[in-house]
Structure 1
Amino acid sequence: MSNTLECITEWIGRQRWYAGKGHVPRLRELSRQTIDTDDPDATISVILLMDDAGHVPTLYQVPVVERSVLQPAERPNLVGQNDDGLFVIDGPHDPAYTRALMRLLAPDLDPATITATRVLSAEQSNTSVIVDIDGVPTIICKVFRALHHGENPDVTLQAALSAAGSTAVPRFIGQLSSEWDDVGRPGGRATGNVAFAQEFLDGAQDGWKVALEYAADGRDFTELAAALGRQTAEVHETLARALPTNDTSPADIAAVEVSWKRRLMLAEREVPTLMESREAIEAVYAAAAECDWPRLQRIHGDYHLGQALLVPERGWVLVDFEGEPLRPMDERDRPDVALRDVAGMLRSFDYAAGATDGWPTDWARASRDAFFEGYVSASGVDPRGFSALLDAFELDKAVYEAIYESRNRPDWLGIPLRGIAQLLAQRADVTLDR
C-alpha cells in the first residue's frame, strides 16, 4: 500500500468526522488488518491511525478498499491513487467492505442476500451504512471513526437493552472490537469497539423534526410527549435491572459539581455575557450538591428529541447512546443520574419552541408537563421531587448548549441564553417562596 498513508493524510482533514479541524493532520500508523473479500478486484484494509496534530492525540479507524478500476459512482468517495496505480476508496462507501464487515458482525447472514448498501450523509462523528436484504432496508451498521480504549456506551447499552427484550431500542445484531498498541496501558495494548449492527427502522421519523412541525403549527404535542416520557422511564428501569447501579457517594457528587463548574468556566470564555450570571448559576449548583441524590445507573447521556425516532405502529424508539460529545469517554461509561436524561429532554422541548417563529412557550410548557406525567405513570418516580437537582442538570445542559451554539450556530445562541435566564428566575422564585 505504497503511499496510501499520504493519500489518507491529504483526504482526512476534509471529512466531517475528523475532529482536528484547524490542524494539518499528522498521522502515524498503529495497525493494518486485511479483511477477506468475495470481490476479485478489491483489497480491503482496516487501518488504525493516530493523529498527533492536536493537543491530545486522536485515534482514527480508516477502512479502505483498493481497486484497479474506479467506477464513476465511487469517484466522490475516492481517497486517492497510490504509487501502484490503485484507486483507494473510503471503505464504508464500497459494497465489498460492507459485505465483508457484515460477515464479521452477523456470521449467520448470507452475503448473497445483501442487495444494496448506502451511507447516511448526516452523521458527524461516525459513518452509518444501511444494508438492504433482498431489496428491503433491514440493517444499519455503524462504523466508529474515532476510537477509544474501553467500551463504547452506544454498543454496551443498546446491546443490554435489546438482550433484556426492550423494544425501546432497535434490535441489536452484533458488534466488532479491535486491539491496538498503547504504551500508556498495562501490557501496552488497548481494546475498543470499532463497529456494530442493529435493526434498521424503515419509515422512522426524527423526533426533533416531528416536534418542530408540531410547534410551528401550534399542534398539541402532549400525547406524544407523554408517550416519550413513558418510554424514557422504561429504558431507565431496564438499564437499572440489566447493568450495575450504586449509591451516590459524596465523592460522586463532588465530581459532578466539579464538571458543572468546569463547563461553566469554559462557557464564560466562549460567551463572556455568562460571567454576569456566574454567582447565580453556582448557587444553583451548590444547592443541588446539598440535596439527597438518587442511585447512580447507566443512562442515555445525551438525550434530546433528535435521539428519539417515531416509528410507525411502534412508537418512540431511542438511539445513539454514546453520551455527550464534550464529556470524556471515561465519564460517559460510568453510572450516572437518570435526571440528566430528563433534563436533556426538557431542554429539547424548549429548543423546539425557541427554534419556532413566535417562540410558543405554552407549547413547550405543556409538552414538559406531559413528559413528566408519562414518566411518572411508567416508573412511579416523579423527577420533580428532585427539583433542585433537576434544575442544576437542566442549567448545566443549557450552559453546554451555549458553548455549542457559540461555536457552530451563533444565530441560535439566544435559545440557551434565554433558557439559562428562565431557569435562574425560576430558582429565585422558589427560594423566595421558601
Structure 2
Amino acid sequence: MKFIHAADLHLDSPFLGLRHLPASLLAQVRQSTFDAATVIFDRAIDEHVDFVLLAGDLFDRAEQSVAAQAYLFQQFTRLQDAQIPVLISFGNHDYLADQHQTVAYPDNVTVFGAEVSTQTLTLASGETVAVSGFSYPQRWVATDQTPGFPEHAATDWHIGLLHGAVSTGGAADHYAPFTVAELLAKRYDYWALGHIHQRQLLNEQPPILYAGNPQGRAITEAGDRGAYLVTSEAGQLVPHFFKTAVIGWAAPNLTVTTTPTLTDLGQQVVAWLAANPAGLPTLTALTVHLPQPLSGADAAQLASGDWLALWQRTQQRAMRAANRYVIAVKVVAAPATVAAPQLDAQYWEAGAASTFTAANLQDLFGKLAQESVLADWFTRPQTASDLETAAQQKLAELMGEEAHDHEA
C-alpha cells in the first residue's frame, strides 16, 4: 500500500508586502502555491498511489476564488481518471461554515463533516484501510476531538486525519487540541496531521506526523517544503518526504570583519550572491554581522529602505545570476562590551550559560509555539543566537544608562 499525505496547501495566499518584486518574479510567487500543489498531484499519479490525504487548509481563506476552486476540481478530476480517491479534512482557514462551492467535487473525493466519521477503502491489493477524520465547522475548534475517533477498526490499516495542535492545557487551544498519548491510545497505524507548517515527527512508530506546507509563504517559512509518500514496509507505514516548493525563502548570515560604508556593503552582498547561488528562485533576507555600527548617515539610509531599493534596481543581473532576490538586508553590530565594575564578564558568561538553555527558551515561548509562523521561527537554529545577542545589546544599553545616571 502507498498513499500521499499533504496538508496546508494555502491556495490563494496573497503574498502581501512583495509588490516591489519584478513583475515576472511576483507572478511566479503568487502562482507558487498552485504549482507546489501540482507537484503533489503529479507525484500521486506517477506513483499510482492508492489514495491521497489532505489534512486541512487547502485554501488560505474561507472566501475561495473561482480560480482556486476550479484548480482543485481539475486536479481531483485528474486523480479520478487515475482511479485515486482523495480524502479531505478542512481546517481553520477553509472551515465548513464558509464553504461556497458552486460545483461539486468529482465522485472520488470524500470531504469529512463536522463530526468525526470513518471511511473504509478496499484497495486493488485487497487490503482494507479505514480513515477517520473531521472538518472544522467554524474557524476555531476549542475542544479535543480525539475522543470521537474510534479505536482501530477491523481493517488491515487504520489512519487518523487531523488538523490540529498539541494541547498546552490553556485557553489559547483553539485548534482541535490533542496529546500524543491520546493518539497513540487509538492504536492507529498512522496519523496524518495538518496545521503546523514546519514538518514535524511527533512519534516514529506509528508515525504521528505534520507534513508541513508544500510552499513557503514568508521568510519565516524557509527551508525544504513538501509532502510525504507513505508506503507499507514489513507491517508498518513508513513516510518518505519529497520536496514540492517552487519558490524558496532563506535568511542567511554574512559576517564582515570590517565596518563598511553602504557602498562597500553593496559590493559585499554582490560577492556573497556570486558565491551562494540558489537551486530555485529564492527570496532572501540577509543579516550582515559587523564588528561595530554603521555611521549615523548610512544607518539612516539603510533603515529608511532607500538604500536597498536603489541596490535592488542596480543589481538585477547579479540577483538573476544567483537565482536569488534580496528582499531585506539587516545589519547587526557586535554588542558593546560592558566592562567592570558595571558587569563582570565571567558573571555574565556564567549567567548566560544557565539562562539561554533550550528548556528555558521553550518555557518562555510557551503557547506561542502553537502558531505555525511563530513555531517555524522558533525552531530555526539562528533564533537562540539572535535572542542571546539581543539580550546582550539590551543589557549593555541598560548598564550604560545606569552609569550615566550615577554620573549625573
Q: TM class, shorter-chain normalised? A: under 0.3
Which structure: larger Rg?
A: 2
Compute the TM-score of the two structures, normalised by the length of structure 1.
Answer: 0.25
